[in-house]
Amino acid sequence: MKPFLFLTLFAFLGLSSVWAQPTPGAFLGVYLADVNEAKARDLRLSEARGAIVGKVLENSPAAKAGLRENDVILSFDDQAIQMATNVYVLLNETLPESRVMLKIMREGVERDVTVIVGERQGGIDSTAPNPEPYHRTKTWRLGVKVAPLSPQLAEFFGVSGNAGSLVTEVEPRTLADRAGIKAGDCLLTLNGEPVPLSTDLNRTFNEIFTKANNKITVKIVRDRKEQELVVKSEESEN
């Protein structure tokens, strides 16, 4: 088994962040290890992938979210985790104070855990691994929390056909925040594509946004009227 990796995070030289601007990186506060075949059997995993939590630092974001020793991180905001390095790189691309959804395995049961990551303090961690080439690609998040629209909610907000999702929270300093999306808006389409279920929103948004060169039109309903907002990265403004 590889040594545990302490996740004090920093911006790798030349690696663009998820927000297309330099960030200090986020802090989770755990030691992680890769999953080998023996550990996969011991932890009742169907395959040898993920990142095992070896130690949770006291009063860290991970501790506050309830992560425990021997939890296995399987996904990070809908992105599958193959090894501990993957978590490190994704955290490096995440702004401090962001809400991150982790899917974990604990005692043979999958659970969803929401973590508000902190800000890295101090210098670069010399024990940090180099990111795998696959994870050098930029990943985009809209930066909203959404809920399904029931027929009653759709009628209340003026949405026909129950299509779309209700924005319940907009994270500060995200693409959604910069575009003017607000809590209470109903998302209808992303560049003409129907808004997916909340569990698939980050993955679908990343695919559409990247394909459109980081600039798309989002159709919403606000105050019972349809309107369109432009979501774009800082890079696409020039």
Please check whether residues 120 and 100 belong to one and the same domain. Answer: yes
Q: How far apart are CA 174 and CA 167, in angstroms?
A: 14
Mean pLDDT across 9-32: 49
Q: How far apart are CA 177 and CA 143, in angstroms?
A: 8
In a domain, 139, yes or no: no
- Identify any residues that bridge with 199 across adjacent strands, giving them in sequence order: none
Domain total of the chain: 2
Among 134, 166, 193, which residue terminates a domain? 134
Please check whether residues 209 and 98 belong to one and the same domain. Answer: no
Q: Containing domain of residue 125, as a range?
A: 5-134
pLDDT at 237: 55
pLDDT at 1: 41
pLDDT at 223: 93
Please check whether residues 167 and 218 belong to one and the same domain. Answer: yes
Among 134, 164, 185, which residue terminates a domain? 134
Instruction: Return the DSSP state at 136.
Output: G
pTM of the full structure: 0.49
- Per-residue model confidence as pLDDT tens digits over 161-199: 767 899 998 888 889 999 999 999 999 999 999 887 665
Asked if 205 and 190 count as a contact pair (C-beta separation under 8 A), the reply is yes
Please check whether residues 112 and 18 belong to one and the same domain. Answer: yes
Please check whether residues 117 and 76 belong to one and the same domain. Answer: yes
In a domain, 38, yes or no: yes
Q: How far apart are CA 140 and CA 157, in angstroms?
A: 28
Q: Which token pair is 111? A: 């659970």
